[in-house]
């Protein structure tokens, strides 16, 4: 095809290809162990695959309702009540979406107008700022404090202006593997009281939380739940990141605005998958057992790193382990991540890409949602560096 002949005024002039695509591609090219992009290298439960096939073969292959099939919305409502004591009306307050990224984008699009400010915590998951900017909004950043990535609540208060329309939070947090405490959520509730700020709370790692920490959903806190979208992904919970299914919960009047955008974008989410999840969610153990399963993987990986010059940072949640490499190299993390992939056969994610300006600390992120064999081979390579 010929090139488009006119100048293009990009709505996202500073956006390139995501780091996840870049590193996974490089890993494939060099046949490296891929601990970069966050996805399991093991398959999902066979029962879940069978349910998906069952519903495809039952002819449930046409448009489902715009907000999702009611059985799945009811299952989500029941789970939110039993885990967090929060009551959501499946009819009006829950929408099934094609993934969590889409749900966050939709919430931002529904509420952010040109000139509005949106508070993000830095480092920030890479989809948040572009979602704000493409809608004409302005990201305003609050730094998480290295090395424990704790929140400076004074800085949060100072970041709020009359233009602040939204705040996006993420706990358990990607890429830092930190988690918000109950005290953090109480502070957030108090800081936002008397404002009209809407919160998008990315909780895709709700079950991946370790060492006895409890997931602090905004849904637990009435002063936050009333102003929040809780966003979640089936991809993380059920090891099916390629199915791209998620959901959003919010009070009815917020959800009405969300659905106005959703119905003219995707309109609906994949139908047979929804029937499969509605059935499979009855098996509570499938998600309640995840914390123990992934904590074991984290510990196995860390054990393999014993004696290494990498310094593990705390991984309290998500399926990521961050390793500081001050003792190994002065290189920028972006250079080191590429070199380790090409020369040593192991791919990771350089954490600086989640900042506007590279921070002085030197950290690579490794995904431990992998088979023990992969983790053992990965750890062995890292131990020798
Ligand atoms: N939010 C965070 C913090 C994530 O890490 C991810 C993906 N790993 C997503 C959202 C995306 O979820 P989905 O694939 O359902 O869009
Ligand atoms: N969220 C995943 C990660 O952090 C990747 C998702 C994606 O590739 N967009 O690695």
Q: Is the peptide bond before 96 cis (omega within 30 degrees of 0)?
A: no
Cβ neighbour number for residue 262 with a 10 Å cutoff: 26
Query: Tokens at residue 103, please?
Result: 């749900």
Which H or E run includes 297?
Answer: helix 290-304
Residue 360 has pLDDT above 90, yes or no: yes
* Residue from 44, 103, 174, 265 whose mutation best tests the ligand 1 pocket (most atoms within 8 A of CB): 174
The Cα 20–Cα 363 span in angstroms is: 16
The share of the chain scoring above pLDDT 90, in percent, equals 99
For residue 155, how far is its CA from the centre of ligand 2 (angstroms)? 28
Distance 385 CA to ligand 1 centre (A): 31
* Interval 243-288: pLDDT, tens: 999 999 999 999 999 999 999 999 999 999 999 999 999 999 999 9
Ligand lying nearest the CA atom of residue 99: 1
Strand partners, 122: 143
Ligand 1 within 6 A of CB of 178: no
The dihedral sign for the CA sequence 77, 82, 84, 87? positive
Name the residue among 12, 33, 120 with its Cα closest to residue 354.
120
CA of 242 to the centre of ligand 2 (A): 11
SS3 content of the chain, % helix, strand, coil (to 5): 40, 15, 45
Which ligand 1 atom is the nearest neighbour of the CA of 101?
16
Give the pair of three-digit tokens for residue 165.
């329309």
Q: What's the pLDDT at 16?
A: 87
Regarding the beta carbon of 273 and ligand 1, being less than 6 Å apart is answered no
* Each residue's pLDDT tens digit, 198-224: 999 999 999 999 999 999 999 999 999
Q: Are 201 and 103 in contact (CB under 8 A)?
A: no
Ligand number, closest to the Cα atom of 36:
2
Nearest protein Cα to ligand 2, atom 4: 38
* Nearest to 259, CA basis, from 269, 271, 244, 272: 269
Q: Which pair of tokens denotes residue 20?
A: 């996840």
Instruction: Give the pLDDT score at 303.
Output: 98
Burial grade of 206 (CB within 10 A; 0-12, 13-18, 19 or more): buried
Which ligand 1 atom is the nearest neighbour of the CA of 241?
14
Q: How far does residue 26's CA lie from ligand 1's centre (Å)?
A: 21
Please give the average per-residue pLDDT across 117-138, as a whole number.
98
112 alpha-carbon distance from chain centroid: 20
């Amino acid at each position: 095809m010929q090139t488009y002949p006119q100048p293009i005024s990009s709505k996202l002039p500073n956006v390139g290809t995501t780091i996840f695509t870049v590193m996974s591609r490089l890993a494939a090219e060099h046949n490296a162990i891929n601990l970069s992009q966050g996805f399991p290298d093991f398959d999902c439960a066979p029962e879940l695959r069978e349910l998906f096939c069952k519903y495809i073969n039952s002819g449930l292959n046409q448009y489902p309702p715009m907000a999702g099939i009611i059985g799945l919305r009811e299952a989500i409502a029941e789970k939110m009540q039993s885990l967090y004591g929060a009551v959501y009306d499946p009819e009006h307050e829950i929408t099934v979406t094609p993934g969590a990224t889409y749900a966050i984008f939709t919430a931002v699009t529904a509420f952010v107008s040109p000139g509005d400010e949106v508070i993000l915590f830095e480092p920030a998951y890479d989809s948040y700022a572009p979602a704000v900017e493409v809608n004409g909004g302005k990201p305003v950043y609050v730094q998480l404090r290295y090395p424990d990535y704790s929140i400076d609540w004074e800085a949060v208060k100072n970041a709020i202006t009359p233009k602040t329309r939204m705040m996006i939070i993420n706990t358990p947090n990607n890429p830092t593997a930190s988690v918000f405490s109950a005290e953090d959520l109480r502070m957030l509730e108090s800081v936002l009281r008397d404002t009209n700020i809407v919160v998008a709370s990315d909780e895709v790692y709700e079950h991946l939380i370790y060492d006895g920490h409890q997931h602090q959903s905004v849904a637990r806190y009435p002063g936050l739940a009333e102003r929040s979208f809780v966003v979640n992904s089936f991809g993380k919970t059920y090891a099916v990141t390629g199915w791209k299914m998620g959901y959003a919960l919010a009070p009815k009047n917020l959800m009405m605005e969300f659905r106005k955008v959703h119905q003219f974008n995707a309109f609906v989410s994949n139908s047979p998958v929804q029937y499969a999840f509605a059935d499979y969610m009855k098996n509570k153990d499938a998600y309640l057992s995840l914390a123990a399963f992934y904590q074991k993987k984290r510990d196995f990986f860390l054990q393999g790193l014993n004696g290494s010059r990498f310094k593990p940072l705390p991984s309290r949640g998500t399926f990521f382990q961050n390793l500081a490499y001050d003792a190994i190299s002065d290189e920028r993390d972006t250079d080191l991540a590429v070199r380790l992939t090409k020369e040593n056969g192991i791919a990771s994610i350089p954490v600086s890409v989640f900042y506007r300006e590279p921070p002085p600390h030197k950290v690579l992120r490794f995904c431990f949602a992998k088979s023990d064999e992969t983790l053992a081979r990965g750890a062995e390579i890292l131990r020798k560096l």
